[in-house]
Amino acid sequence: MSTAPASPGDVIEHVNGNIQHGRKVNEFLELIEQRAQDSGIRPHLLTLQELQEGQAQLVSDRLGLAFVEAPNVRPGSRNALFYDAAAFQPNTEWVPYLEGIRHRPATARLFMVDPATGNLSRRKLSVASIHGNFGNPEARSDQLRWLLSNMVKDKRIALISGDWNSWPQGRAPLTMDNVADRAYALDRSILGDDGVFRPDDQADRMLTYRHMVWVGGHAATVLGQKGAVQPSTEHGPDKERQRIPAADLPPAGLGPIDRTYVSEELLPALVSAEILATPEVQAISDHLPEVTRWNRSALWGVMNAHVRTVRH
Protein backbone atom coordinates (compact mmCIF):
# COMPACT_ATOMS: atom_id res chain seq x y z
CA MET A 1 0.00 0.00 0.00
CA SER A 2 1.06 3.59 -0.53
CA THR A 3 1.92 5.98 2.25
CA ALA A 4 -0.70 8.73 2.04
CA PRO A 5 0.80 12.24 2.19
CA ALA A 6 -0.13 14.43 5.11
CA SER A 7 -0.50 17.51 2.89
CA PRO A 8 0.23 18.75 -0.66
CA GLY A 9 3.61 19.88 0.65
CA ASP A 10 4.53 16.26 1.32
CA VAL A 11 3.97 15.21 -2.31
CA ILE A 12 6.61 14.83 -5.00
CA GLU A 13 4.99 14.91 -8.45
CA HIS A 14 6.49 13.53 -11.65
CA VAL A 15 5.02 14.15 -15.11
CA ASN A 16 6.05 12.31 -18.26
CA GLY A 17 4.95 13.33 -21.74
CA ASN A 18 5.78 13.08 -25.42
CA ILE A 19 4.70 16.46 -26.84
CA GLN A 20 4.17 15.71 -30.52
CA HIS A 21 7.09 17.48 -32.24
CA GLY A 22 6.71 20.27 -29.66
CA ARG A 23 3.75 21.67 -31.56
CA LYS A 24 1.56 22.41 -28.55
CA VAL A 25 4.12 22.89 -25.82
CA ASN A 26 2.31 26.03 -24.62
CA GLU A 27 -0.94 24.12 -24.25
CA PHE A 28 0.92 21.41 -22.34
CA LEU A 29 2.37 24.01 -19.98
CA GLU A 30 -1.07 25.54 -19.48
CA LEU A 31 -2.34 22.08 -18.51
CA ILE A 32 0.45 21.65 -15.96
CA GLU A 33 -0.07 25.15 -14.54
CA GLN A 34 -3.84 24.65 -14.23
CA ARG A 35 -3.40 21.31 -12.47
CA ALA A 36 -0.94 22.90 -10.05
CA GLN A 37 -3.36 25.73 -9.34
CA ASP A 38 -6.25 23.32 -8.74
CA SER A 39 -4.36 20.84 -6.54
CA GLY A 40 -1.75 23.00 -4.85
CA ILE A 41 0.88 20.52 -6.09
CA ARG A 42 3.44 21.59 -8.67
CA PRO A 43 5.64 19.10 -10.52
CA HIS A 44 9.10 18.41 -9.12
CA LEU A 45 10.26 16.12 -11.96
CA LEU A 46 9.38 16.20 -15.66
CA THR A 47 10.57 13.77 -18.35
CA LEU A 48 9.63 15.10 -21.80
CA GLN A 49 10.23 13.88 -25.33
CA GLU A 50 10.11 15.50 -28.81
CA LEU A 51 10.93 19.00 -27.60
CA GLN A 52 12.27 21.30 -30.32
CA GLU A 53 15.13 23.80 -30.25
CA GLY A 54 14.77 26.26 -27.37
CA GLN A 55 11.69 24.61 -25.87
CA ALA A 56 13.50 23.12 -22.89
CA GLN A 57 14.43 26.64 -21.83
CA LEU A 58 10.81 27.70 -22.32
CA VAL A 59 9.57 24.90 -20.05
CA SER A 60 12.25 25.74 -17.51
CA ASP A 61 11.35 29.42 -17.44
CA ARG A 62 7.58 28.85 -17.22
CA LEU A 63 7.70 26.20 -14.48
CA GLY A 64 10.76 27.41 -12.58
CA LEU A 65 12.63 24.11 -13.00
CA ALA A 66 16.26 23.32 -13.78
CA PHE A 67 16.79 21.04 -16.77
CA VAL A 68 19.09 18.61 -18.52
CA GLU A 69 18.67 18.39 -22.29
CA ALA A 70 20.12 15.71 -24.55
CA PRO A 71 21.55 16.89 -27.88
CA ASN A 72 20.32 15.25 -31.05
CA VAL A 73 22.32 14.22 -34.10
CA ARG A 74 19.96 16.32 -36.20
CA PRO A 75 17.77 19.30 -35.21
CA GLY A 76 14.58 18.75 -33.27
CA SER A 77 12.97 16.06 -31.13
CA ARG A 78 15.17 16.38 -28.07
CA ASN A 79 14.63 14.53 -24.81
CA ALA A 80 14.87 16.55 -21.62
CA LEU A 81 14.36 16.12 -17.90
CA PHE A 82 13.47 18.88 -15.46
CA TYR A 83 13.77 19.03 -11.69
CA ASP A 84 12.86 21.35 -8.85
CA ALA A 85 16.18 22.53 -7.43
CA ALA A 86 14.57 22.90 -4.02
CA ALA A 87 13.77 19.17 -4.03
CA PHE A 88 16.67 17.68 -6.02
CA GLN A 89 20.28 18.54 -6.77
CA PRO A 90 22.42 16.97 -9.52
CA ASN A 91 25.49 14.84 -9.02
CA THR A 92 28.00 16.84 -11.08
CA GLU A 93 30.23 13.78 -11.55
CA TRP A 94 27.65 12.07 -13.78
CA VAL A 95 28.78 11.78 -17.43
CA PRO A 96 25.85 12.06 -19.88
CA TYR A 97 24.86 9.49 -22.45
CA LEU A 98 27.15 9.90 -25.47
CA GLU A 99 26.22 7.23 -28.02
CA GLY A 100 25.37 8.62 -31.45
CA ILE A 101 21.74 7.61 -31.66
CA ARG A 102 19.05 9.91 -33.01
CA HIS A 103 17.01 10.44 -29.83
CA ARG A 104 19.57 10.50 -27.04
CA PRO A 105 18.12 10.01 -23.56
CA ALA A 106 18.42 12.92 -21.15
CA THR A 107 20.03 11.58 -17.99
CA ALA A 108 20.97 12.82 -14.54
CA ARG A 109 21.74 11.54 -11.08
CA LEU A 110 19.88 13.55 -8.49
CA PHE A 111 20.34 13.87 -4.76
CA MET A 112 17.17 14.63 -2.82
CA VAL A 113 17.13 17.76 -0.66
CA ASP A 114 15.77 17.56 2.90
CA PRO A 115 13.29 20.48 3.03
CA ALA A 116 13.86 20.97 6.76
CA THR A 117 17.69 20.97 6.87
CA GLY A 118 18.81 21.43 3.26
CA ASN A 119 20.97 18.31 3.58
CA LEU A 120 21.47 16.13 0.52
CA SER A 121 20.42 12.49 0.58
CA ARG A 122 23.04 9.78 0.95
CA ARG A 123 21.85 8.08 -2.23
CA LYS A 124 21.31 9.38 -5.76
CA LEU A 125 18.29 8.78 -7.99
CA SER A 126 19.21 7.94 -11.59
CA VAL A 127 16.65 9.69 -13.79
CA ALA A 128 16.24 9.32 -17.54
CA SER A 129 13.86 10.70 -20.16
CA ILE A 130 13.90 8.18 -22.98
CA HIS A 131 12.41 7.96 -26.47
CA GLY A 132 12.81 4.54 -28.00
CA ASN A 133 13.83 4.33 -31.65
CA PHE A 134 10.49 4.20 -33.47
CA GLY A 135 11.58 1.87 -36.26
CA ASN A 136 14.23 -0.47 -34.84
CA PRO A 137 13.52 -2.80 -31.91
CA GLU A 138 17.19 -3.82 -31.73
CA ALA A 139 18.17 -0.16 -31.31
CA ARG A 140 15.52 0.23 -28.60
CA SER A 141 16.98 -2.78 -26.82
CA ASP A 142 20.58 -1.55 -27.10
CA GLN A 143 19.63 1.88 -25.80
CA LEU A 144 17.92 0.42 -22.74
CA ARG A 145 20.73 -2.01 -22.04
CA TRP A 146 23.17 0.90 -21.88
CA LEU A 147 20.94 2.81 -19.48
CA LEU A 148 20.43 -0.16 -17.18
CA SER A 149 24.08 -1.22 -17.12
CA ASN A 150 25.41 2.31 -16.52
CA MET A 151 22.68 4.01 -14.46
CA VAL A 152 21.01 1.23 -12.49
CA LYS A 153 23.85 -0.84 -11.12
CA ASP A 154 23.33 -3.18 -8.18
CA LYS A 155 21.67 -1.49 -5.16
CA ARG A 156 21.26 1.80 -7.02
CA ILE A 157 17.83 3.35 -7.51
CA ALA A 158 16.30 4.83 -10.63
CA LEU A 159 13.29 6.41 -12.32
CA ILE A 160 13.23 5.88 -16.09
CA SER A 161 10.31 7.30 -18.02
CA GLY A 162 9.34 8.03 -21.58
CA ASP A 163 7.96 6.85 -24.90
CA TRP A 164 9.08 3.24 -25.27
CA ASN A 165 7.49 2.54 -28.67
CA SER A 166 6.62 -0.89 -27.27
CA TRP A 167 4.07 -2.36 -24.90
CA PRO A 168 4.14 -3.92 -21.42
CA GLN A 169 3.90 -7.70 -21.11
CA GLY A 170 0.33 -9.00 -21.18
CA ARG A 171 -0.94 -5.72 -22.60
CA ALA A 172 0.58 -5.91 -26.07
CA PRO A 173 -1.59 -6.72 -29.10
CA LEU A 174 -2.02 -10.43 -29.73
CA THR A 175 -0.77 -9.85 -33.28
CA MET A 176 0.05 -6.98 -35.65
CA ASP A 177 -0.93 -9.02 -38.70
CA ASN A 178 -4.19 -7.14 -39.23
CA VAL A 179 -2.96 -3.57 -38.73
CA ALA A 180 -3.50 -1.53 -41.90
CA ASP A 181 -0.28 0.49 -41.62
CA ARG A 182 2.28 -2.21 -42.38
CA ALA A 183 5.31 0.04 -41.77
CA TYR A 184 3.97 0.72 -38.26
CA ALA A 185 3.28 -3.00 -37.74
CA LEU A 186 6.89 -3.89 -38.56
CA ASP A 187 8.31 -0.99 -36.51
CA ARG A 188 6.55 -2.30 -33.40
CA SER A 189 7.36 -5.99 -33.96
CA ILE A 190 10.25 -8.32 -33.17
CA LEU A 191 11.11 -11.47 -35.09
CA GLY A 192 11.11 -14.61 -32.96
CA ASP A 193 13.35 -17.66 -33.35
CA ASP A 194 10.34 -19.42 -34.85
CA GLY A 195 10.26 -16.95 -37.74
CA VAL A 196 7.05 -15.31 -36.52
CA PHE A 197 6.75 -11.59 -35.87
CA ARG A 198 5.19 -10.63 -32.54
CA PRO A 199 4.43 -7.24 -30.95
CA ASP A 200 7.42 -5.80 -29.12
CA ASP A 201 7.41 -5.99 -25.31
CA GLN A 202 11.19 -6.33 -24.89
CA ALA A 203 11.72 -3.14 -22.87
CA ASP A 204 9.20 -4.21 -20.25
CA ARG A 205 10.75 -7.68 -20.09
CA MET A 206 14.26 -6.26 -19.65
CA LEU A 207 13.22 -3.77 -16.99
CA THR A 208 11.24 -6.40 -15.11
CA TYR A 209 14.19 -8.79 -15.27
CA ARG A 210 16.24 -6.06 -13.57
CA HIS A 211 13.57 -5.88 -10.83
CA MET A 212 12.35 -2.51 -11.96
CA VAL A 213 8.59 -2.01 -11.85
CA TRP A 214 6.13 -0.37 -14.21
CA VAL A 215 4.55 2.24 -11.95
CA GLY A 216 1.20 2.28 -13.75
CA GLY A 217 0.83 -1.48 -13.54
CA HIS A 218 1.65 -1.43 -9.83
CA ALA A 219 -0.80 1.40 -9.20
CA ALA A 220 -3.56 -0.51 -11.00
CA THR A 221 -3.02 -3.91 -9.39
CA VAL A 222 -1.95 -2.91 -5.87
CA LEU A 223 -3.57 0.49 -5.37
CA GLY A 224 -6.67 -0.10 -7.52
CA GLN A 225 -5.98 2.90 -9.79
CA LYS A 226 -7.23 1.57 -13.13
CA GLY A 227 -6.66 4.89 -14.92
CA ALA A 228 -2.92 4.20 -14.75
CA VAL A 229 -2.89 1.46 -17.42
CA GLN A 230 -5.02 2.73 -20.29
CA PRO A 231 -3.52 3.24 -23.76
CA SER A 232 -1.53 6.46 -24.15
CA THR A 233 -1.63 6.56 -27.97
CA GLU A 234 -3.84 5.67 -30.96
CA HIS A 235 -6.28 8.53 -30.35
CA GLY A 236 -7.02 11.03 -33.09
CA PRO A 237 -8.06 10.60 -36.75
CA ASP A 238 -4.50 10.38 -38.07
CA LYS A 239 -3.99 7.12 -36.13
CA GLU A 240 -6.83 5.22 -37.80
CA ARG A 241 -4.57 2.98 -39.90
CA GLN A 242 -2.41 2.16 -36.86
CA ARG A 243 -5.26 0.99 -34.66
CA ILE A 244 -5.34 -2.60 -33.43
CA PRO A 245 -8.53 -4.47 -34.45
CA ALA A 246 -10.69 -5.33 -31.45
CA ALA A 247 -10.25 -9.05 -32.06
CA ASP A 248 -6.47 -8.66 -31.66
CA LEU A 249 -6.53 -6.81 -28.34
CA PRO A 250 -5.21 -8.64 -25.27
CA PRO A 251 -7.72 -9.82 -22.63
CA ALA A 252 -6.34 -7.35 -20.07
CA GLY A 253 -6.66 -4.45 -22.55
CA LEU A 254 -4.03 -2.61 -24.55
CA GLY A 255 -1.39 -0.98 -22.36
CA PRO A 256 0.31 2.40 -22.70
CA ILE A 257 3.36 3.07 -24.87
CA ASP A 258 4.42 5.88 -22.48
CA ARG A 259 5.41 4.48 -19.08
CA THR A 260 7.47 5.12 -15.96
CA TYR A 261 9.62 2.47 -14.29
CA VAL A 262 11.26 2.66 -10.88
CA SER A 263 13.40 0.50 -8.65
CA GLU A 264 11.33 -1.72 -6.36
CA GLU A 265 12.59 0.11 -3.28
CA LEU A 266 10.66 3.24 -4.28
CA LEU A 267 7.22 1.60 -4.46
CA PRO A 268 6.24 2.14 -0.79
CA ALA A 269 6.46 5.89 -1.47
CA LEU A 270 4.02 5.76 -4.41
CA VAL A 271 0.79 7.68 -3.82
CA SER A 272 -0.84 7.56 -7.25
CA ALA A 273 -0.38 7.15 -11.00
CA GLU A 274 -2.68 8.33 -13.76
CA ILE A 275 -2.72 8.74 -17.52
CA LEU A 276 -4.52 11.98 -18.34
CA ALA A 277 -7.06 11.20 -21.05
CA THR A 278 -9.63 13.98 -21.33
CA PRO A 279 -10.51 15.32 -24.81
CA GLU A 280 -8.66 18.53 -23.97
CA VAL A 281 -5.49 16.61 -23.17
CA GLN A 282 -5.88 14.40 -26.24
CA ALA A 283 -5.87 17.53 -28.41
CA ILE A 284 -2.39 18.51 -27.17
CA SER A 285 -0.41 15.54 -28.51
CA ASP A 286 -0.66 12.08 -30.07
CA HIS A 287 0.69 10.78 -26.73
CA LEU A 288 -1.06 11.21 -23.39
CA PRO A 289 0.93 12.38 -20.34
CA GLU A 290 1.35 10.29 -17.22
CA VAL A 291 1.39 11.80 -13.72
CA THR A 292 2.85 9.95 -10.73
CA ARG A 293 2.86 11.25 -7.17
CA TRP A 294 5.15 10.20 -4.34
CA ASN A 295 5.17 10.71 -0.60
CA ARG A 296 8.11 13.05 0.03
CA SER A 297 8.86 11.72 3.52
CA ALA A 298 8.78 8.09 2.39
CA LEU A 299 10.91 8.91 -0.66
CA TRP A 300 13.45 10.64 1.55
CA GLY A 301 13.56 7.56 3.76
CA VAL A 302 14.61 5.45 0.76
CA MET A 303 17.05 7.96 -0.67
CA ASN A 304 18.76 8.70 2.63
CA ALA A 305 19.14 5.07 3.71
CA HIS A 306 22.56 3.62 4.47
CA VAL A 307 23.23 1.28 1.54
CA ARG A 308 26.64 -0.14 0.68
CA THR A 309 27.22 -0.28 -3.06
CA VAL A 310 30.06 -1.86 -4.98
CA ARG A 311 31.54 -0.28 -8.08
CA HIS A 312 32.07 -3.02 -10.66
What pLDDT digit, counting tens, does each position of 144-157 carry?
A: 998 998 889 899 99
pLDDT of residue 131: 93
Q: Backbone dihedral region of 54: left (phi > 0), alpha (psi from -120 to 50 degrees) or beta? A: left
CA angle 256, 257, 263 (to 5 degrees): 85
The Cα–Cα gap between 199 and 192 comes to 10
CB atoms within 10 A of CB 308: 5
Give strand pairing partners of 45: 14, 83
What pLDDT digit, counting tens, does each position of 225-265 carry?
A: 999 999 999 887 788 899 999 999 999 999 999 999 999 99
What pLDDT digit, counting tens, does each position of 98-115 carry?
A: 555 557 889 999 999 998
